[in-house]
Structure 1
Amino acid sequence: MRKCILTLCIWIGLLTGCNPIHQQTIDSGGVMTSFPVIIEPHNPEQAEQSGDVVVLMNGMRNGDKWRTFLKNVSKEQPSQVRVTQYTIEGGPVIHELVYDGKVIQITYDDSRDMYGSGQGETTNTCKGIGTIKSEQGRTFHVLTDCEKENIFSIPK
């Protein structure tokens, strides 16, 4: 009987440990929340309905959510935003940014982009947000003072 109970406990522990972890985040009121579940195949319309800031070749949707995130970071208030950028081929690249009042934790996921790096999900920690100007004269918001190389930019 003891062996059965021990085996059952081990199996439950293994199954519980293999469940996907949902990233807990902090909303602007300082309350822990999660990002909405990503609906597949995560086309621009679905991303927009999920509340993502959607960046396409021809513009941005839900830009007000990005501006709110910027304002909260400038006031050192905890905030979060998910930005889904679409490549020329239409593949989604997802960035989840969580600001705790001090640093920005960013999770980058290109696993849905057929032509992506194939890294899947990676994380980075950055201290702020700045702007840069491209050679073509366009201005972009970028993360600054990052632990790893910064690969996030969004049109201003």
Structure 2
Amino acid sequence: MATTYDGEERVLPMRIVGSEAVPGSNATSATAVQGVDGGKAVSVARTGIVPIKNAAADFKLVAKGSAGNLHGFNLCNGASAGFLFVYDGVAAPIDGVGKQPVLVLPVAANAALSAAYDPPLAFTTGITLVFSTTGPFEQTAANTGLITAWVA
């Protein structure tokens, strides 16, 4: 960004605060952001959402055992193509039993699927993600994926 001072154009170093560039600093820290208080820089700690994930390949992830918000998820899939089911509940449904998922997304074999929601998706009971080799209308769980979710 070029700014003119006393008829002379100068390029000032920039840093990002939220979605706005602020002149006068070249700070680029990913863990803290600086604000401006009366012309002086002040540090503000950032808070984040800790990811919830499987410890090993599994077919399900109960990301939240109560009402909450799904900010995003990631599925790294193994050799079987299938579907990621996202349920408003605190447990994975039994295979073949018709519980209506909130989302059903196709996943290719040996592929990854990621999504981020802003604003997040609201769930009233809980947040459970299930990988199935069949779908989109019937669930057949398969332990071939690593599921990670960001919930609050």
With normalisation by structure 1, the TM-score equals 0.27
Considering Cα pairs closer than 8 Å and 6+ residues apart, tell me whether 1 or 2 has the greater RCO. Answer: 2
The structure that has the greater radius of gyration is 2
Q: Which has the higher strand share?
A: 2
Higher helix share: 1
